[in-house]
C-alpha cells in the first residue's frame, strides 16, 4: 500500500504505514507481528496513537484538517503538523533533555513519529490535580524556556537568520488566528463558544465583557502577540503540554509555534500554575487539605520565574560576544550597562509574562476551552468559588502588571485572594 496522498489513518492502516517507513519499524526492532496500537483519546486537536512492540515503541501523531474535539465543523489546516515538526526539532536541538525526539515526519500525511514518553510520565495538569509534587519541575521548565527563547531571539541570532525563520513561521497563521480568537477576543465579547460556571459566574462573565480598562490592556497584548516576532515560542505552553515524572519534564505539542513574544510562553506556564493553585481548594478533602501542596505550587511559580531569569541572563552573559545582533558587544561593552540592559529586558519581559499569563487564565474561566483543574470539581458552586478567585487575580495582574517588579509580589497578590 502506498501513502502518496493524505488520508486519515486508523489502527490497521497505521500498521501498513509503519511497514513503509524504516525509521519507524526499526524502532520496533523490525518486528511488526506483535505490535500493540492504542489510540490516546484526550488530544484536543489531533489523533495520537501509541505503538508498542516487543522491542521498542513510539508515538504517531496525525493532524486532520479540522479540530478533533469539535469536529469537521471547525476546519483547521493539517499543515500545522509541519510547523509542529519543525518546532519540535528546533526545541529538541536546544533543550534535548526536555523535548521528545522526532523519529519521522511526513508532510503529505501530516504525521509525526516521535518518542513515546513511557509511564510513569503523565500530563502535568493531571499531576497537579492529583496533588503530586515535582521537585525538578521549576528547574527543568525554566531550562527549556530560557534555552528555546534565548537561542531563537535576536539576542543570539543574526538579522538574516531571524527574518528567514520569522517568514517561515508566518505560514502557521491559522493556528495564530485561533489563539487570537480564543485568548484575546472571544472572552471579551458575546460568543457562542464561551461558557462559564453558570449561574454563579454570570455577572462576572458580563463584567469581563464590560471592563473597558481590561479590554484596553488586552488590545495591547493582542497587538504584541500578532506583531512582535521576538523568539520561536511554543505558543501553547500550558500544563497540558508538559509530561512529567518526578525526574523528567518533557514539553510536547508545539503546533502553535511561531515567532512571537517570549512572555506568551512563560505566562502560559505560570498562569496555568496559578489556575492549579486556585483549583486546590476544590480538590481538598478530609484526608488532604492541600495546604502543603498549595505552598509547593507557589514555590514552583516563584522558582520557575527566578530560575528562568537566572538562566536567561547566564546564557546572555555567556554568549554576549556571539553572533546576536540585538546588543552588539562594541556598544554594550561595560558591565554596568550590560546589567542595566538586562534588568530592563527582564523587567519588560516580566510585565509581558504577567499580562499574557493573566489573559490565558481569564480565557480558561469564561472562554471556550476550560481546564480540567476546575472542570474536575464536580460541585458547581465550589468550582465557581475557586474560579472567581483566579479570575480576580488575573484581572489584577493584567491591569496592574507594570506595577509588579518581582515574582514575590505576585505570590503575595495570589495569597491575598486565596480562601
Nearest-approach distance from CB 181 to a copy of itself, in angstroms:
9
Q: Is 68 in the site for a copy of itself (CB under 8 A)?
A: no
Judged by CB under 8 A, the stretch of 27-35, 41-49, 82-90, 175-183 that binds a copy of itself is 175-183
Burial 168-188 (b: 16+ CB within 10 A, else e): ebebbeebbebbeebbbebbb
Q: Is 230 in the site for a copy of itself (CB under 8 A)?
A: yes
Q: For residue 189, what are the contacts with CB-CB under 8 A and spacing of at least 6?
A: 209
Q: Are 107 and 81 in contact (CB under 8 A)?
A: yes
* List 23, 31, 69, 216, residue binding a copy of itself (CB under 8 A): 216
Judged by CB under 8 A, the stretch of 70-78, 226-234, 301-309, 365-373 that binds a copy of itself is 226-234
Q: Of 79-138, which residues contact a copy of itself (CB under 8 A)? A: none
Cα Dmax for the chain = 65
Q: Residue 57 phi/psi, 5° resolution? A: -160, 165
**Structure-block grid coordinates of residue 99:** 523535548
Q: Is 77 in the site for a copy of itself (CB under 8 A)?
A: no
Q: Are 379 and 281 in contact (CB under 8 A)?
A: no
* List 5, 192, 227, 379, residue binding a copy of itself (CB under 8 A): 227
Q: Is 206 in the site for a copy of itself (CB under 8 A)?
A: no
d(CA 247, CA 261): 29
CA dihedral 228, 233, 239, 241 (to 10 degrees): 140
Nearest-approach distance from CB 378 to a copy of itself, in angstroms:
33
Q: Is 313 in the site for a copy of itself (CB under 8 A)?
A: no
Nearest residue to 134 (alpha-carbon basis) of 224, 384, 155, 126:
126
Q: How many residues bind a copy of itself (CB under 8 A)?
A: 45
d(CA 303, CA 294): 14
* Residue nearer to a copy of itself on the CB measure, 227 or 285: 227
Q: Is 321 in the site for a copy of itself (CB under 8 A)?
A: no
* List 115, 121, 126, 215, residue binding a copy of itself (CB under 8 A): 215
Q: Is 170 in the site for a copy of itself (CB under 8 A)?
A: yes
C-alpha torsion sign, points 329, 333, 337, 338: positive
In the β-sheet with 36-40, what is the strand arrangement from edge to edge?
Answer: 36-40, 47-53, 56-62, 111-114, 102-106
Cα–Cα distance list, 206 to 188, 196, 241, 368, 391 (Å): 9, 11, 30, 15, 13
Build a one-symbol-per-residue string for 324-343: x at contacts with a copy of itself by CB under 8 A, - elsewhere: -xxxx-xxx-x-xx--xx--
Nearest-approach distance from CB 232 to a copy of itself, in angstroms:
13
* Residue nearer to a copy of itself on the CB measure, 130 or 170: 170
Residue numbers of the site for a copy of itself (CB under 8 A)? 154, 159-160, 162-164, 166-168, 170-171, 173-174, 176-177, 180, 185, 188-190, 212, 215-216, 219-220, 222-223, 226-230, 325-328, 330-332, 334, 336-337, 340-341, 344
Amino acid at each position: 500500500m502506498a501513502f502518496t496522498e493524505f488520508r486519515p489513518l486508523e489502527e490497521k492502516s497505521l500498521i501498513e504505514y509503519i511497514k513503509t517507513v524504516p525509521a519507524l519499524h526499526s524502532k520496533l526492532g523490525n518486528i511488526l507481528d506483535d505490535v500493540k496500537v492504542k489510540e490516546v483519546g484526550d488530544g484536543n486537536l489531533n489523533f495520537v496513537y501509541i505503538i508498542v512492540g516487543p522491542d521498542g515503541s513510539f508515538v504517531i501523531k496525525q493532524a486532520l484538517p479540522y479540530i478533533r474535539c469539535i469536529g469537521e465543523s471547525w476546519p483547521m489546516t493539517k499543515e500545522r503538523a509541519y510547523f509542529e515538526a519543525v518546532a519540535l526539532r528546533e526545541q529538541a536541538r536546544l533543550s534535548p533533555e526536555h523535548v521528545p525526539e522526532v523519529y519521522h515526519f511526513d508532510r503529505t500525511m501530516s504525521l509525526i513519529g516521535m518518542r513515546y514518553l513511557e509511564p510513569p510520565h503523565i500530563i502535568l495538569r493531571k499531576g497537579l490535580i492529583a496533588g503530586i509534587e515535582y521537585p525538578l519541575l521549576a528547574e527543568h521548565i525554566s531550562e527549556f524556556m530560557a534555552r528555546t527563547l534565548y537561542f531563537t531571539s535576536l539576542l543570539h541570532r543574526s538579522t538574516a537568520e531571524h527574518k528567514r525563520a520569522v517568514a517561515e513561521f508566518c505560514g502557521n497563521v491559522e493556528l495564530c488566528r485561533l489563539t487570537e480568537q480564543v485568548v484575546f477576543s472571544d472572552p471579551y465579547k458575546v460568543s457562542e463558544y464561551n461558557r462559564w460556571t453558570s449561574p454563579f459566574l454570570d455577572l462576572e462573565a458580563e463584567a469581563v465583557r464590560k471592563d473597558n480598562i481590561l479590554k484596553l490592556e488586552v488590545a495591547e497584548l493582542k497587538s504584541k502577540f500578532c506583531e512582535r516576532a521576538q523568539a520561536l515560542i511554543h505558543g501553547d505552553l500550558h500544563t497540558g503540554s508538559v509530561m512529567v515524572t518526578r525526574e523528567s519534564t518533557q514539553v510536547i505539542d508545539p503546533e502553535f509555534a511561531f515567532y512571537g513574544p517570549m512572555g506568551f510562553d512563560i505566562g502560559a506556564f505560570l498562569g496555568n500554575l496559578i489556575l492549579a493553585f486556585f483549583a486546590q481548594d476544590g480538590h481538598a478533602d478530609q484526608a488532604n487539605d492541600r495546604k502543603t501542596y498549595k505552598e509547593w505550587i507557589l514555590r514552583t511559580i516563584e522558582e520557575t520565574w527566578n530560575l528562568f531569569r537566572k538562566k536567561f541572563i547566564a546564557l546572555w552573559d555567556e554568549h554576549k560576544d556571539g553572533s546576536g545582533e540585538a546588543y552588539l558587544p562594541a556598544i554594550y561593552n561595560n558591565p554596568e550597562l550590560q546589567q542595566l540592559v538586562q534588568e530592563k529586558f527582564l523587567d519588560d519581559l516580566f510585565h509581558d509574562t504577567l499580562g499574557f499569563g493573566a489573559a490565558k487564565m481569564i480565557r480558561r474561566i469564561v472562554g471556550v476551552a476550560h481546564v480540567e483543574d476546575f472542570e474536575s470539581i464536580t460541585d458547581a458552586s465550589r468550582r465557581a468559588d475557586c474560579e472567581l478567585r483566579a479570575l480576580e487575580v488575573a484581572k489584577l495582574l493584567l491591569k496592574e502588571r507594570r506595577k509588579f517588579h518581582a515574582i514575590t509580589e505576585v505570590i503575595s497578590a495570589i495569597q491575598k485572594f486565596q480562601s
